[in-house]
């Protein structure tokens, strides 16, 4: 049910706020806060996506394909291995396309909205 001290404090705040004559939040301040948080969270999202991309792509996918192809003892990979490498390359290309699309969506989301009216 919550800490009684917290409930008392919340009730006190509510009572004191009721005493404000013009308890109206400023639309400009709300908008500025909204814009700040959108930009902040979009930056966090982009940083997390770029980090995930780097970990998956540069630490996993790319080296694995390189190691498979370079490490095969014969100059020509057998057809089954070629298929596997091609699937991996297709997965990597899809990964890069998705990354570009998501980064573009984030870039567009950061643009300020067009003024209405």
Q: Which pLDDT belongs to residue 2?
A: 66
3-state DSSP helix/strand/coil % of the chain, to nearest 5: 80, 0, 20
Q: Tell me if 61 sits within 8 A of 92, measured CB to CB.
A: yes
CA distances from 59 to 55, 62, 84 (A): 5, 7, 19
In the DSSP assignment, the letter for residue 115 is P
Mean pLDDT by 10 residues, the chain (117 residues): 83 90 85 93 96 91 90 92 94 95 93 71
pTM above 0.85, yes or no: no
42 exposed, middle or buried (CB, 10 Å; 0-12, 13-18, 19+)?
A: middle
Task: Supply the pLDDT for residue 1.
Answer: 57
CA torsion, ordered 74, 79, 84, 87, to nearest 10 deg: 120
């Amino acid at each position: 049910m919550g800490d009684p001290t917290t409930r008392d404090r919340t009730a006190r705040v509510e009572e004191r706020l009721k005493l404000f004559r013009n308890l109206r939040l400023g639309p400009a301040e709300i908008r500025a806060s909204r814009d700040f948080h959108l930009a902040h969270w979009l930056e966090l999202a982009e940083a997390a996506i770029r980090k995930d991309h780097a970990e998956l792509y540069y630490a996993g996918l790319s080296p694995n394909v390189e190691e498979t192809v370079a490490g095969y003892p014969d100059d020509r990979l057998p057809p089954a291995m070629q298929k596997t490498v091609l699937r991996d390359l297709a997965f990597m290309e899809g990964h890069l396309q998705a990354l570009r699309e998501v980064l573009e969506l984030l870039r567009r989301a950061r643009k300020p909205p067009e003024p209405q009216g």
